[in-house]
């Protein structure tokens, strides 16, 4: 692969996701991390991006989605990234994994190029688009992508085709929780998302909930399922511990990162 070709694709990914990581790029392009760093240095000198520790971002005003400034998102993205990476580690090779909607779940996708022969099922348009793009970038197309249809919602979720859900199964479902509490169970704020998550619990033997720290021990508007339905909870150390103990009592395996 040509150097400029690689750099073009880096910029391409940067424009679709808002940020790129050195280690991740090195994996997808099968080159040493130092090569990626040199690429990023060149692109930065050309004013095309802003390097940060671990990767690069678009400079302020360059992004389409109106991202805020660097330090601001760095905090939130850091947590997001930690959870996402832990989630990716919980995925075995050669498995079928369902990814639900949401930013946390979306953050898992960049780490999937570590795996081989995954089958990815999703009802999120943004995740599907990202995975498809990744597949075009990496020379050996290692993943199979399957999309659940439905009507597109503003969160890029595709909802409404319950029939299609009944015809798939997965080794692992990974979804985001709107709220998770031992007593009040798994909850969501979005009706469609809640309905989808409820259906998801039935198609897999193992369920993984990604929970932002501020969502631990809290409850959203709509009840989805009792907390005991969750097999694994992934969050960060910043999350409040008492609710986690209660969840642990119910048999939920807690992973903090």
Partner DNA sequence: CTGAAACGTGCATTATCGTGCATAAACGAA
Partner DNA sequence: TTCGTTTATGCACGATAATGCACGTTTCAG
Among 31, 73, 74, 132, binds its own copies (CB under 8 A): 132
Binding-site partner at residue 152 among DNA, its own copies, none, CB < 5 to 8 Å by type: its own copies
Binding-site partner at residue 35 among DNA, its own copies, none, CB < 5 to 8 Å by type: DNA
Query: Which lies closer to its own copies via its Cβ, residue 171 or residue 246?
Result: 171
Contact between 98 and DNA by CB under 7 A: the answer reads: no
Please report, in angstroms and rounded to a whole number, the separation of the first and last CA atoms in the chain. Answer: 36
* Beta strand segments in the chain, E: 19-21, 50-52, 55-57, 96-99, 119-122, 144-147, 150-152, 158-160, 172-176, 179-181, 185-188, 207-210, 222-225, 232-235, 253-256
Contact (CB, 8 A) for 116 and 93? yes
Contact between 237 and its own copies by CB under 8 A: the answer reads: no
As beta bridge partners, residue 122 has 99, 147
The SS3 call for residue 108 is helix
Contact between 21 and DNA by CB under 7 A: the answer reads: yes
Contact between 52 and DNA by CB under 7 A: the answer reads: yes
Contact between 127 and its own copies by CB under 8 A: the answer reads: no
Contact between 68 and its own copies by CB under 8 A: the answer reads: no
| Closest distance of CB 32 from DNA, Å | 3
DSSP string, 10-78: HHHHHHHHSEEEHHHHHHHHT--HHHHHHHHHHHHHTTS-EEETTEEEPPTT--SS----HHHHHHHHH
Greatest Cα pair distance in the chain: 56
| Closest distance of CB 114 from its own copies, Å | 20
Contact between 60 and DNA by CB under 7 A: the answer reads: no
Binding-site partner at residue 149 among DNA, its own copies, none, CB < 5 to 8 Å by type: its own copies
| CA dist., res. 148 & res. 165, Å (int) | 7
Contact between 35 and DNA by CB under 7 A: the answer reads: yes
Among 84, 107, 127, 158, binds its own copies (CB under 8 A): 158
As beta bridge partners, residue 255 has 234
Taking each helix axis as running N to C, give the angle between helix 22-29 and helix 3-17, from 0 to 180 degrees, rounded to the nearest 10: 130
Contact between 89 and DNA by CB under 7 A: the answer reads: no
Contact between 142 and its own copies by CB under 8 A: the answer reads: no
**Applying CB under 8 A, which part among 53-61, 99-107, 193-201, 244-252 lies near its own copies?**
53-61
Using CB under 8 A as the criterion, which residues of the chain lie in contact with its own copies when the complex forms?
Answer: 2-5, 8, 18-19, 21, 50, 52-55, 57, 125-126, 128-129, 131-132, 135-136, 141, 144-152, 154, 156, 158, 160-161, 163-164, 167
Using CB under 7 A as the criterion, which residues of the chain lie in contact with DNA when the complex forms?
Answer: 1-3, 6, 21-23, 30-35, 37-39, 41, 51-55, 74, 78, 82, 236-237
């Amino acid at each position: 692969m040509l150097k400029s070709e690689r750099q073009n694709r880096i910029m391409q990914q940067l424009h679709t996701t808002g940020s790129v990581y050195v280690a991740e790029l090195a994996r997808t392009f099968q080159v040493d991390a130092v090569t990626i760093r040199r690429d990023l240095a060149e692109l930065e000198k050309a004013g095309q991006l802003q390097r940060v520790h671990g990767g690069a971002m678009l400079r302020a005003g360059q992004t389409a989605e109106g991202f805020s400034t660097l330090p601001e998102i760095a905090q939130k993205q850091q947590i997001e990234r930690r959870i996402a990476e832990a989630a990716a580690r919980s995925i075995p090779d050669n498995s079928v994994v369902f990814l639900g909607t949401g930013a946390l779940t979306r953050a898992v996708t960049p780490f999937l190029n570590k795996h081989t022969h995954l089958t990815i099922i999703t009802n999120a348009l943004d995740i599907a688009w990202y995975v498809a793009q990744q597949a075009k970038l990496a020379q050996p197309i290692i993943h199979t992508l399957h999309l659940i249809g439905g009507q597109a919602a503003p969160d890029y979720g595709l909802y409404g085709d319950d029939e299609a859900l009944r015809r798939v199964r997965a080794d692992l479902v990974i979804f985001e929780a709107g709220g998770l509490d031992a007593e009040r169970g798994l909850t969501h704020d979005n009706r469609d998302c809640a309905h989808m998550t409820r259906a998801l619990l039935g198609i897999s033997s193992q369920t993984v909930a990604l929970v932002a720290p501020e969502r631990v021990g809290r409850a959203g508007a709509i009840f989805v399922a009792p907390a005991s339905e969750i097999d694994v909870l992934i969050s960060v150390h910043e999350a409040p511990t008492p609710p986690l103990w209660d969840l642990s009592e119910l048999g939920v395996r807690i992973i903090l990162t």
